[in-house]
Amino acid sequence: MLDKRRIYDRILEMCTPMYVGGTSKREVIASMKMEKAKTLLNTNRGEEECE
């Protein structure tokens, strides 16, 4: 944990923190991909019989 703290301290030393408001586009894209995966996985459910 100390390693990460040192890294973050160095980043803060060299950079100015900024607030970026609004929704995360990556979160929206991930949600859309998850819904598509659920749809694809549930499409053939029950149509094929197990042997």
Mean pLDDT of the residues in the chain: 86
Query: Which stretches does DSSP call E strand in 1-51?
Result: none
39, two tokens: 């749809």
Estimate to the nearest angstrom the gap between the alpha carbon of 41 and the chain centroid.
20
Element (H, E) at 9: helix 2-14
pLDDT tens string 24-38: 999 999 999 999 999
49 vs 24: CA distance, rounded Å: 42
- What pTM, to 2 d.p., does this model score? 0.47
